[in-house]
Structure 1
Amino acid sequence: MKHRLYVLSLLALSGLSAAAQADTLLIERTQEPAVAQPARGLSMAEVEARFGAPQQKLDPRGGQKRQWPTINRWVYPDYVVYFEKNKVIDVVAHKASANEVGPKPPIR
């Protein structure tokens, strides 16, 4: 019985360790954007005036119900801009850096 409890404790601790390492990896990838990006709250017209026309304007999503606002997405070379109605709500980079090839391997 003690042996089983010991093994279960070790498994639980190793799981916590792996989760902590995964959080660290995500934190390491979070940096200031290398390329200027639209700020939250800018209108579609302001984004297009400052950053030029997007490569692609994706079809809107949402809007089926009043509580589900329409979300528009514009694709630029380095990021995607998300608009709720006419205002920027988020910008998502395609990669954290030009050299990124994927998540860093866990530290052991």
Structure 2
Amino acid sequence: MKKTLLIILLSCSALITLPTFAETVRVPIGQQADISKPRTGINKASVEAQFGEPISKQGPVGDPPITSWEYADFVVYFEYDHVIHSVAKHRPQGN
């Protein structure tokens, strides 16, 4: 029993010491989206007044209800009536 426990402990400790690797993705500032997007916390009426009618509206989904509005260059995510995040759309280079 002690020998089995020792083998298990040694095996687990060997796994803990294995190195891990992560990749860091760096996007040069010139390639990052430099567009005006709604800021966190503003309401739907303010977004629509500032950016106009969205191309499409999705949701609400889940609890709390999350709604998304799609614009030409970004997507806005709302929780209830307020912006929780705005994300620029990916544009491949050369387009």
User: Normalised by the size of structure 1, how large is the TM-score?
Assistant: 0.60
Q: Residue 99 of structure 1 corresponds to which residue in structure 2?
A: 93
Say whether residues 1:34 and 2:34 are aligned partners: yes
Structure 1 residue runs of 4 or more that deviate by more than 6 Å after TM superposition: none
1:34-62 per-residue CA deviation (whole Å, 9 max, x = no partner) reads 11000000100000000001000012111
RMSD: 2.6
1:10-42 per-residue CA deviation (whole Å, 9 max, x = no partner) reads xx66x63xx2xx21x2x3267764110000001
Gaps of 5+ in 1: 1-11, 64-68, 102-108
Gaps of 5+ in 2: 1-17
For the pair shown, which has the larger CA radius of gyration, 1 or 2? 2
Instruction: State the one-letter code of the partner of 2:44.
Output: M
Report how many residues are paired. Answer: 77
Instruction: State the one-letter code of the partner of 1:62.
Output: G
Q: Residue 7 of structure 1 corresponds to which residue in structure 2?
A: none
User: Normalised by the size of structure 2, how large is the TM-score?
Assistant: 0.67
